[in-house]
Amino acid sequence: MYLIGEALVGDGSEVAHVDLIVGEKEGPVGEAFANSLSNLSAGHTPLLAVVRPNLPAKPSTLLVPKVTVKDLDQAARVFGPAQAAVAKAVVDAVEEGIIPKEKLDSWVIICSVFVHPDAKDYRKIYHYNYGATKLALRRAMTNYPGLEKILYEKDRAKHPIVGFKVPRLWRPPYLQIALDIPDLERTKGIVSQVPRSDRIIFEVGTPLIKKHGAKVIGELRSLDRDMFLIADFKTLDVGKVEVDLAFEETADGVTASGLAPVETLDSFIYETRRLGIYAIVDMMGVENPMVKLQSLKELPEVVLVHRGIDVEKRGGSIRWEQIQAIKSGFKDRKLLVALAGGITPEIARDAINSGADIIVVGRFITQSRDIERSVRDFLECTPEMREDIDLLREHVE
């Protein structure tokens, strides 16, 4: 039996990061404890956690530095405030009942500790490492985090060192802004006027890609690393190749045409799954999307019910029945349905009420004299769209 805990506490050079494992002496943790204490390596010498010299913590705790110790000043920070903090946290955890007292002599703890080479403030080193060790112990004893917590946070979280979010379409509805204008500078200006919202995703439109190539995806990404970007390639052949092109330019999703052969779509969807980006199949021109979807080995993440501009101009109507058929036909599957083609805020409201998960809007926003106001017209069209996903979330543990 063994338990695992992790915690990051503090900031600056004194920030503390602790990974620990708790387990029986008579088992794999005890064996790893003994091996680590007896097999010393230069710069990463493990040491027993002591409250003070000659007073080791119970359960016996091994502190293993994560960072190579290069000189005596760095060694003093590990052998001083970090060592004392870990030992005190372990002993306090016993006193507070976090660690059962009956396990004092049968358990051991291996605690991997990060002490930055530039850390200077001994008080902060102690303070942060004490808090991180105590928190990691509590998490280990409670088997934190549970699956529900992980699934809830995985598409919201921003890693502090990565510095940007990797958004996923986990809570519809969304407004997808189609950037179809071939003028790149004008497109950048449009993006700069769009209000920030977790409900908004961007489509790098086919005309823009045809004029500037796939590299335009990366250029737009540079405007905002947090944005969700879809590359609208409308792939008809060599599905794998075009997915790879989109992926290399950091697209979060890529679009294939539903008119493509089944073999192409299967290859396209397989490659998106392999690389971890979204597959969108655009059903413009497909008479019966259900038949097409049922012929595929795997479903895409998104199906787009799309009324083309030329069809719209000659009076073609939105195929509401296609939305409803897809939603009801795959109600037990994780499948998002998007709607595109001359969408106004009123149509968007009806579409969301009919079950659409993504509303794709181009000209109504990109040709508007007041882009921000036009975007807000869509963000306010239904109560679901008005709810900003993370508005009331506390960004603390």
Enzyme catalytic residues: 17
- Displacement of CA 248 from its chain's centroid (Å): 18
d(CA 204, CA 182) in angstroms, rounded, equals 10
User: 14 with 119: CB under 8 angstroms?
Assistant: yes
C-alpha pair distances (Å), 225 with each of 164, 184, 243: 6, 18, 20
d(CA 70, CA 152) in angstroms, rounded, equals 41
C-alpha pair distances (Å), 343 with each of 195, 229, 377: 19, 20, 12
Sheet with 47-48: strands ordered across: 2-9, 16-24, 107-114, 60-65, 47-48
Cα angle 253, 189, 310 (rounded to 5 degrees) comes to 60
